[in-house]
DNA sequence: AAATATCTACCTGAAATCAGGTATTTTTTA
DNA sequence: TAAAAAATACCTGATTTCAGGTAGATATTT
């Protein structure tokens, strides 16, 4: 049996979900909350298996709420519910421990699929949300033309720098002079047109070179 | 009409795809290559709309090939083909401009869906690959509990360090002494139990604190 | 009101990075 | 095979970071 807590200030949502899962015998709604505060208390008391979370609550934003819930309970599954498709925040929502993302105009079957997937440890996203996530990866490809060409050695050193090694440490590891590493570093800084290793690594990471 | 170039050293793949799209009148196979080198030449000559790319070619690895192709032609769509599900490289493949990812044991309909989506500017991933990507976002949430507590000021400085500012630059920006910034940095290093700013930023980033 | 947390500031010496070079050897490509 | 690219190594001086402190001022919380 999977117990569901609904956190949403619109009564309609609770009713709608109730109707959708009425004749699914392994699902039950164990509560409905209207504020984040109330939700936190109910979660502690009821220990639901799954939370359907409106991410635009009156007293808190969804990301923060998700984070708080996750901090309180590492097991519970969290599915975000939104009316408008605010795709921009999905990655952050996932990063804070969210497990699913649904639009409120979902079909019944979609809700059941989502609950099923999420309870099985998978992530479930609405189609548009999923597409958005993938595009985030892909978008940097547009900038690929302006990413400088790196030699094999430079890539290697970039990687080691990213792992936190210092110049001398890398030199020791690769059996070359520290001077050599510094030369490579200098070339990397120049290629990326930055002046610090920090910035170098930030940009490389953003462009998924490491 | 969409012209497709197949890049794969196994003849079976070409045959299989041919069969699958035989009676789709808006698709045609304009060539089959067995090596990355040959592919690069063919692409320049034929200008296909879409490339089905085996990512384990004899003479090059798939990521590099994808990158090269994308550098040569910004329009062409690239779908990776693999026999084993090497999910680990998907994000990198996307970052290098890939548009889709399919297993060679795909169904006919899946291939057509993928081609359709990709030609419409969308990303198409096999189900398992897609799940893998989403888990990458979500996995870090598990580590959230062991992330140290940061004060507001520390978060602010962490952010500025991430943006590539040096200690003195941050000091100037925040109208405080450089010493103060160094103290904060020192506290941050201690809280994360690392010894370099590089490592500090790497870990913070991994845990989505910045 | 007292205790705690946070932000601030300072000091020293060692280590690492950055900016500006030059220059030789090896590998790859045209 | 000749030219270009990549990897190696060195030098100097200025700047920044790191590790080890101490300590006062200002919130914040109990």
Q: For residue A92, is pLDDT > 90?
A: no
In this complex, the residue with its CA at the shortest distance from the C1' of nucleotide D8 is A180
Nearest-5° angle of CA B66, CA B67, CA B68?
90
Distance CA B124, CA A137 (A): 12
Q: Which nucleotides of D are covered by protein (CB under 7 A)?
A: 5-11, 15-23
CA gap A80, A56 in Å, rounded? 10
**Main-chain phi, psi angles of A49, to 5 degrees:** -85, -30
* Alpha-carbon torsion, ordered A198, A204, A205, A207, to 10 deg: 150
User: Residue A104: which residues within 8 A CB-CB, separation 6 or more?
Assistant: A13, A16, A81, A82, A83
Residue B146 pLDDT greater than 70, yes or no: no
CA distance linking residue A183 with residue B69, whole number of Å = 30
What is the reported pLDDT for B165? 92
Range from A162-171, B42-51, B101-110 carrying the lowest mean pLDDT: B42-51
Q: Do A99 and B138 touch (CB under 8 A)?
A: yes
The better pLDDT of the pair B160, B206 is held by B160
Q: How far apart are CA A161 and CA A168, in angstroms?
A: 11
pLDDT at A22 over 50: yes
A-chain residues near B121 (CB < 8 A):
none
Instruction: Supply angle C-alpha B26, B27, B29, rounded to 5.
Output: 150
How far is C-alpha B113 from the geometric centre of its chain's CA atoms? Answer: 21
Q: Is the ipTM reported for this complex over the cut 0.95?
A: no
| A194 vs B: CB within 8 A | yes
Q: Strands of chain A (E only): list them.
A: 2-7, 27-33, 50-54, 77-82, 100-103, 124-125
By C1' distance from the Cα of B170, the closest nucleotide is: D16
Instruction: Flag whether residue A196 sits within 8 Å of chain B, measured between CB atoms.
Output: yes
Domains of chain A plus CATH, in order, are: 2-138 (3.40.50.2300), 147-206 (1.10.10.10)
According to DSSP, the residues that pair with B6 across neighbouring strands are: B32, B52
d(CA B27, CA A59): 53
Token couple for B119: 């030609």
Q: How far apart are the C-alpha atoms of A159 and A151, rounded to whole Å? A: 12
Chain B residues 3-22 with a CB less than 8 Å from chain A: none
A137 interfacial to chain B (CB closer than 8 Å) = yes
pLDDT tens track for A125-150: 999 899 988 887 775 454 444 567 78
Q: How many CB atoms lie within 10 A of CB A80?
A: 28
DSSP A198: H
Q: What are phi and psi of A196, to 5 degrees?
A: -135, 155
* Dist CA A52 CA A6 (whole Å): 5
Burial code of B14-49, b = ≥16 C-beta within 10 A, e = fewer? Answer: bebbeebbeeeeebebbbbbbebeebbebbeeeebb
Q: Are the beta carbons of A133 and B138 separated by less than 8 Å? A: no
Q: Which range among A54-58, A185-189, B36-40, B139-143 shows the weakest confidence by mean pLDDT?
A: B139-143
* Tens-place pLDDT, residues B69-80: 887 777 889 999
| Nearby residues of B199 by Cβ (< 8 Å), 6 or more positions away | A164, B192
What tokens were used for A79? 């599915």
């Amino acid at each position: 049996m999977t117990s569901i807590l609904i956190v949403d200030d619109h009564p309609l949502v609770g009713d709608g979900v109730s109707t959708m899962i009425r004749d699914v015998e392994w699902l039950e709604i164990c509560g409905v909350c209207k504020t984040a505060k109330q939700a936190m208390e109910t979660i502690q008391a009821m220990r639901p298996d799954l939370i359907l979370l409106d991410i635009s609550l009156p007293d808190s934003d969804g990301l923060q709420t998700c984070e708080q819930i996750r901090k309180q309970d590492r097991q519970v599954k969290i599915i975000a519910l939104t009316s408008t498709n605010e795709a921009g925040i999905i990655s952050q929502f996932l990063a804070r421990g969210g497990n699913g993302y649904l639009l409120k105009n979902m079909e019944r079957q979609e809700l059941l699929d989502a609950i099923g997937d999420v309870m099985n440890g998978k992530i479930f996203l609405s189609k548009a949300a999923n597409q958005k996530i993938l595009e985030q990866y892909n978008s940097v490809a547009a900038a690929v033309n302006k990413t400088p060409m790196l030699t094999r050695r430079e890539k290697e050193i970039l990687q080691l720098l990213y792992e936190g090694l210092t110049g001398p440490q890398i030199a020791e590891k690769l059996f070359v002079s520290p001077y050599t590493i510094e030369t490579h570093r200098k070339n990397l800084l120049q290629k990326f047109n930055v002046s610090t290793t920090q910035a170098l690594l930030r940009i490389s990471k953003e462009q998924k070179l490491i």
